[in-house]
Structure formats: C-alpha cells, structure tokens
Amino acid sequence: MMKKLRTTDFRGMKERGEKIAMITAYDAAIAAIVDAAGVDVVLVGDSLGNVVQGLEDTLSVTLDEMIYHTRIVSRGVERAHLCSDMPFLSYQKSPEDAVESAGRLLKEGRAESVKLEVNDEYVDTVYRIQKAGIPVIAHIGLCPQSVHVMGGYKVQGTLPGDREVLLDLSRSCEQAGAFMVVVESVVSAVAQEITGDLDIPTVGIGSGADCDGQVLVVNDMIGLTQQSLPKFVKKYADVARTISDSTKKYVEEVKREIFPSSEYFYE
C-alpha cells in the first residue's frame, strides 16, 4: 500500500528539493492512471470548461459540476493529494459563501483541498476557508476567471511594479494559511523570486523551471487537445491520433464485415 500524500508533506518536499508533479483529471479512469503513474497532486481544474465541456473559457463551470467531477475523480485516486478548483462565483460573493462552497467540494466531492484564484480582494477568503479546516491552494499570476478584466490570457509580471505586487500577494497568501501557491504564466525570474521567498511550495504552469513543482492540463500533456496549445505545454503523447486511427480502423472493419470475427462473439 503506497503512502497517501497529505497537505503537510509538501513543505518537506520543498525543503528536500524534491519537485512536486501535479496534473489535472476530470474522471475516475484518467485519475487512476495518473495516480498509479506517480503524480503527487491530482487537480480537478475548472479547465473542465475548456477541455471537457468544449467552452471558450472557465466562466460557465458551476459548483455542482465541479462537485460531480471531483467525486468521480476521487474514486480513482489513492496516493496523490486531491485538490478541486473553486469555480467562478463560488467564492467571490462573500467569505461565508466561499466557506460553504469549499465545504461542499470536500463533503460531497471528497476533495482534500480547494484552489482559488487570488488577488488582494481574496486573501481574507483564503484565511477564512483554511480556518474552517479546509486546506487552500492559492492561484496567482494569470487568473483565467478574470480573462475579461485582463483583456486576454497574457503573460504576467512584465509591467513595472508587477514583481512587487506578485511578491506581496504570494506572501499574503502564505500568511493567510495557504499550503501551496500555483503560479500561472509569470515570467520565470519573478516566479523564481517568489519560490525563494516562500516557505510553502510554488507549483508553476508556464512560469519556468525554478518553481517547486509543475502542473499541466492532462488533455494537453497527452495530446488529446485539438486546439493550439500555449508555449509552456509539452505534449508527451499523441492520444488524439491514437483515438482517430483506431476509430477509422474500427469503422472500416465494421463496414467490411471483418469485425466481429468469431473470437469476439458467443456461439
């Protein structure tokens, strides 16, 4: 039986210089495969909207949908820590509402922590959620739920003053009790500084090699996503091609009455 990873294990990994591997999952089958392959954190991302629901952004994903996907992912995860994203408007209205939403992700979804996109406005919300006994990952840098305010998905940390804002924000998240920070699309020099400054680990996506860990969207990483991918995605496989090639073969064999041959039916 493999040792289950807990929120308290990740600081030790940072101290030992052991990198943290995080990946998203949206169903039990993929969750079981990535868990058995040794990933440390499985994230049920609200990227669900883009990669599973075929939407342009994450804004329409609901709390009930996140709870459903978290619950089915939880059935596939044994060793990894299981975190679930708080979707748009599930925590922005008030800290009380945020605690309620986060609680549902644990109670009904069986998540072990929640992640929310944080700017100065939501540092207190991080504090309130973790005080309620719910571990929190703070997501900083490019926050996809704010796409319309940011004017698109843009690299962060490039403007004068950005460095200080991001450093202050990451410190505030640590002080508010976050056990990890996800740093999205922040220029590598700033992400490196944040990582050096914090005791809690940073997990980067498009933020360079110096973060304490890395996260990718599983559909992008395995080559299932058909749309163009950001520069920071490394495609480790071409699963879209495997599905397409095998489906073409299946269709052809059905049409030509090759499938099913006798070994595939009961006599």
If binding is defined by CB under 6 A, does position 215 make contact with ligand KIV? yes
Biggest CA pair distance of the chain: 75
Catalytic residue among 100, 121, 184, 252: 184
If binding is defined by CB under 6 A, does position 173 make contact with ligand KIV? no
Give the residue with the Cβ less far from ligand KIV, 20 or 217. Answer: 217
ω before 260 within 30° of 0 (cis)? yes
Give the residue with the Cβ less far from ligand KIV, 150 or 258. Answer: 150
Q: Letter for the amino acid at 70?
A: T
Q: Which member of 42, 63, 111, 217 binds ligand KIV (CB under 6 A)?
A: 217
Alpha-carbon gap, residue 62 to 58, rounded angstroms:
9
Sort strands 20-24 and 113-117 into parallel, antiparallel or unpaired: unpaired
If binding is defined by CB under 6 A, does position 40 make contact with ligand KIV? no
For residue 100, the minimal CB distance to ligand KIV (Å) is: 21
Site string for ligand KIV, 72-111 (x = CB under 6 A): -------------x--------------------------
E strands in the chain: 20-24, 41-44, 81-85, 113-117, 136-141, 180-184, 202-205, 213-216
Tokens describing residue 217: 């969207």
Alpha-carbon gap, residue 106 to 85, rounded angstroms:
11
Helix (H, G, I), strand (E, B) or coil at 187: coil
3-state DSSP: the chain helix, strand, coil percent, rounded to 5?
40, 15, 45
For residue 262, the minimal CB distance to ligand KIV (Å) is: 46
Q: Letter for the amino acid at 259?
A: F
Residues 6+ apart with CB under 8 A from 47: 24, 58, 85, 144, 217
If binding is defined by CB under 6 A, does position 135 make contact with ligand KIV? no
For residue 46, the minimal CB distance to ligand KIV (Å) is: 5
For residue 257, the minimal CB distance to ligand KIV (Å) is: 44
If binding is defined by CB under 6 A, does position 182 make contact with ligand KIV? yes
Q: Which member of 46, 112, 174, 212 binds ligand KIV (CB under 6 A)?
A: 46
Contacting range for ligand KIV; rule: CB under 6 A; set: 28-36, 43-51, 95-103, 128-136: 43-51
Place of tokens 């052991």: 18
Give the residue with the Cβ less far from ligand KIV, 22 or 123. Answer: 22
Element (H, E) at 245: helix 239-255
For residue 24, the minimal CB distance to ligand KIV (Å) is: 4
> Active-site residue 184, yes or no?
yes
Q: Mind telling me the catalytic residues?
A: 184
Binding region for ligand KIV (CB under 6 A): 24, 43, 45-47, 85, 139, 182, 205, 215, 217
